[in-house]
Amino acid sequence: DKSNLKSKAAYTFMLLALVSAILHTGAFQSDKYQNLSPLDCIIAFYREGQGLSGGGVLGGIIALPLLLVFKPLGAIIILVSLSTINLILLTDVSIYSLVKKTRSGLASCFKMLVKGIREGKDYRDACAAEEEYGELKDSSDELQDNIVKINVNLPKTMDKDDKEVKEVPRIQVKKTVSREDVEADDFQEKEILGPTRKLHEILYKYPPINLLNANPDGGKSIRTYKNIALEGARKLEETLRSFGVEAKVVNVTVGPAVTRFELQPSSGVKVSRIVSLADDISLNLASQGVRIEAPIPGKAAVGIEVPNKGITPVFLREVIDSKEFAQHPSKVAFAVGKDISGECVVADIAKMPHLLIAGATGSGKSVCIKSLITSILYKSSPEEVKLILIDPKMVELNIYNGIPHLLIPVITEPKKAASALNWAVQEMVRRYKLFAEKGVRDIKGYNSAVEQSGEHDYLPLIVIIIDELSDLMMVAPGEVEDCICRLAQMARAAGMHLVVATQRPSVDVITGLIKANIPSRISFAVSSQVDSRTILDMGGAEKLLGNGDMLFYPAGQQKPVRLQGAFISEKEVEKIIGFIKTQCNSEYDDSVLDEISRNIGDDREMDDEWDEFLPQAIEMVIETGQASASLLQRKFKIGYARAARIIDQMEARGIVGRYEGSKPRQVLVTRQQWLEMKMSDSFEGGHGFNS
């Protein structure tokens, strides 16, 4: 407008006058102006301005009184201060913002300088390690060339009567290599394993962030929903007022999936009245489901979460590229997603220390597991973290086969999964024995002690991920539950962590023992409040929206937090896995594979054995129409282990059905079919019951 232009023009004129006065003060000589009248001084100012040696008439008129009163130094201070104030008024830029921008610019320059120095140091270390590895390889080749083959002719047989053995003549060998250089133990372990390990740590290149897709939305949807949220706050107050509840909306937070209205009820209004109006609020706001958090932890307000018109996706790149993930010290940091306020949430698996994930089909459970694995790949090297992946569905985690972080290939058979969990228990016990020998309490203390002693037996963290627990519980419920409970109780200090996921959160899958020993939970959308209580011990998960909408309930927190989980697509996973495979080969542990195969073989041998009570047990089961271990215990006066083994043998032969929790097993054959089986020699490989 015109007034603004006039003020800008006035400030510009004043700034020019002050600059002229500063120039005149810099060129001021007091001898020139002594005994001159004011008119003569103005003429002198004009002549100096023509010669470009002063501030002209305007600058001289402003500067001369200041020079006579405050001397040159005081005049400069006053004129510079006035010029700065005039410049701020002219540009509308404050001193604080100017200092802040200058500081941020200097800080960014300093960070770039430090980053360049670090990259240069890493490059020099890598080159030095390659040279050292090359020298070791050359020295090993040279050593092989210096080995002298010695043929000693000894008699093939020796008579029994020959008690005296003739002395073998000494053999002269050329002394080309010193004894110290040819000692196998020193050469192989001290000189090869040490630098090779160091070389692996340097050469493992973390995947670049550009392999992950950027969010094309860029927060535009959230800005659109903010305008809608203000109208929703007014409707919410009117709805509550119509039911006789006086409350005021004090804050509105728009998140990726929901908008939270923070209500402050008037004095005398019970929180239970607001909670009971959830369905009425949902009807008046025309939303599919309203979740009420009463009260919000740490605030004197009630939170009403209303779904947005659409879910704004949170890409995994946003969380991994955030300062929360980059500055997290843990090697098993997990990029979970964003909360309602839009802040990135990063969890530490080591502090959880075990995690239970549950949700219906299509709610985002498998994507959450892939985000967890990808977070580990971006945060740690194969020497620091090892993974054991169990995927009974055979299609979700097979893509990770071949990465160096895997301790063994992805397990898809339930029997092998039970054996792998059994090996994990044995490994946990072995680690505790090592801790006792070193006199330490956990894996951090052990690795520190090993590093101080100069040894190379570092213990990596082990993360065991089970994608579908319900299938394992149907095949080997007792063994799986025992292993999971033992690991959950004791494996934290040993550096072993469990991540268990299931899409059927029922009590026969997530048993009381498993729930009691796994404190941290993530619940996606479920079908009923019963399932929500099974996972979280409270309702709320049945009102989630799906597509990554979750309730995150870590250990030590009073209430679950609503988050929008980070999303990663199949193509992104393929690009990351392809990048890692091109630079590192898989390093499976053969001893672990052999142990798992041995356990499976022992189980099969035990299954092949026939119990002497098996025919009588089958007869009794067919007569009674039900099968249970307790029934066999009472009838045959045997222990529980033997009765359970007989039940398993009947299940393997198709006599009874699978385990169904607290229900008795279903009998699958009739008496006529059983008689045909007894008469058939082909039953179970020719081992009939005719005898």
320-331 per-position pLDDT tens digit: 999 999 999 999
Is the pLDDT confidence value at 368 over 80? yes
Report CA torsion sign: 674, 678, 681, 687.
positive
Query: Which residue's entry shows tokens 């990351």?
Result: 576
Contact 475, 659 (CB under 8 A): no
Give whichever of 33-37, 68-72, 407-411 has the largest mean pLDDT: 407-411
Contact 551, 540 (CB under 8 A): yes
- pLDDT for 181 equals 41
Fill in the DSSP letter of residue 584.
Answer: -
Residue bearing the bigger pLDDT, 313 or 688: 313
How far, in Å, CA of 499 to CA of 491, rounded?
12
CB contact set of 159 (below 8 Å; sequence gap of 6+):
none
- pLDDT for 30 equals 61
| Closest-CA residue to 441 (of 498, 422, 348, 449) | 449
pLDDT in tens, 258-287: 889 998 888 888 888 888 888 888 888 888
Residue bearing the bigger pLDDT, 681 or 126: 126
Counting Cα atoms < 13 Å in the Cβ hemisphere of 339 gives 11
How far, in Å, CA of 515 to CA of 502, rounded?
13
SS3 (DSSP) at 499: strand
- Strand segments, DSSP code E, in 534-665 are 549-553, 561-567
- pLDDT for 142 equals 42
Give whichever of 51-55, 120-124, 566-570, 669-673 has the largest mean pLDDT: 566-570
Counting Cα atoms < 13 Å in the Cβ hemisphere of 629 gives 16
Structure tokens at 74: 């005081």
How far, in Å, CA of 592 to CA of 267, rounded?
65
Residue bearing the bigger pLDDT, 179 or 319: 319
- pLDDT for 53 equals 67
Contact 418, 439 (CB under 8 A): no
Angle separating helix axes 629-636 and 640-652, nearest 10 degrees = 120
- pLDDT for 131 equals 53
Contact 340, 506 (CB under 8 A): no
Query: Which residue's entry shows tokens 């007034």?
Result: 3
Query: Which residue's entry shows tokens 């946003």?
Result: 318
pLDDT in tens, 291-305: 888 888 888 889 999
Report CA torsion sign: 567, 569, 574, 579.
negative
Give the confidence band of 50 by pLDDT, cuts at 50, 70, 90: low
Q: Please provide the size of the chain in residues.
A: 691
| Closest-CA residue to 518 (of 358, 332, 660) | 358
For domain 220-307, give the fold: Threonyl-tRNA Synthetase; Chain A, domain 2 (3.30.980)
- pLDDT for 630 equals 85
Mean pLDDT of 63-80: 79
Phi, psi dihedral angles at 299 (to 5 degrees)? -135, 150
Give the confidence band of 1 by pLDDT, cuts at 50, 70, 90: low
Matching CATH topology for 314-596 and 609-679? no
How far, in Å, CA of 486 to CA of 89, rounded?
71
- pLDDT for 61 equals 77
* Residue 660 amino acid letter: E
| Closest-CA residue to 304 (of 317, 316, 295) | 295
Mean pLDDT of 554-582: 91
| Closest-CA residue to 338 (of 321, 354, 359, 361) | 321
Is the pLDDT confidence value at 679 over 80? no
- pLDDT for 436 equals 92
∠ at Cα 619 (616, 622), nearest 5°?
A: 150
How far, in Å, CA of 127 to CA of 515, rounded?
50
Is the pLDDT confidence value at 165 over 80? no
Is the pLDDT confidence value at 22 over 50? yes
- pLDDT for 477 equals 79
pLDDT in tens, 497-547: 999 999 888 887 888 888 888 999 999 999 888 889 989 988 888 888 888
* DSSP letters spanning 153-215: ---S---TT--S-PPPPP------S-GGGG-HHIIIIIIIIHHHHHHHHHHPPPPPGGGSPP-
∠ at Cα 407 (347, 129), nearest 5°?
A: 90
User: What distance separates the 2 farthest-apart alpha carbons in the chain?
Assistant: 144
Whether the bond between 72 and the residue before it is cis, its omega within 30 degrees of 0, is no
Give the confidence band of 678 by pLDDT, cuts at 50, 70, 90: low
- pLDDT for 103 equals 79
Contact 632, 639 (CB under 8 A): no
pLDDT in tens, 176-209: 334 334 333 333 333 323 333 443 444 778 999 9
Does the 314-596 domain belong in CATH 3.40.50.300?
A: yes
Counting Cα atoms < 13 Å in the Cβ hemisphere of 515 gives 15
CA 302 vs. chain centroid, Å, equals: 31
Is the pLDDT confidence value at 149 over 50? no
How far, in Å, CA of 534 to CA of 540, rounded?
11
| Closest-CA residue to 302 (of 328, 329, 334, 269) | 269
Alpha-carbon dihedral angle through residues 466, 468, 471, 474, given to the nearest 10 degrees? 70
Structure tokens at 610: 């026939």
Which helix (H) or strand (E) element contains residue 537? none
How far, in Å, CA of 595 to CA of 420, rounded?
9
Is the pLDDT confidence value at 242 over 80? yes
| Closest-CA residue to 410 (of 365, 369, 357) | 369
How far, in Å, CA of 62 to CA of 39, rounded?
15
What is the percent of the chain where pLDDT is above 90?
Answer: 25
| Closest-CA residue to 650 (of 629, 624, 636, 630) | 629
Give the confidence band of 70 by pLDDT, cuts at 50, 70, 90: confident
Least confident of 28-32, 461-465, 579-583: 28-32
∠ at Cα 109 (103, 115), nearest 5°?
A: 135
Give the confidence band of 2 by pLDDT, cuts at 50, 70, 90: low
Radius of gyration of the chain (CA): 39
Domain residue ranges in the chain: 2-93, 220-307, 314-596, 609-679
Mean pLDDT of 295-319: 87
Alpha-helical (H) ranges within 462-613 are 469-475, 477-490, 512-517, 529-536, 570-583, 590-608
Which helix (H) or strand (E) element contains residue 497? strand 496-502
Least confident of 243-252, 489-498, 535-544, 662-671: 662-671
Which CATH architecture is the domain 609-679 placed in? Orthogonal Bundle (1.10)
* DSSP letters spanning 330-367: -TTEEEEEEETTS-EEEEETTTS--EEEE--TTSSHHH
Mean pLDDT of 99-122: 75
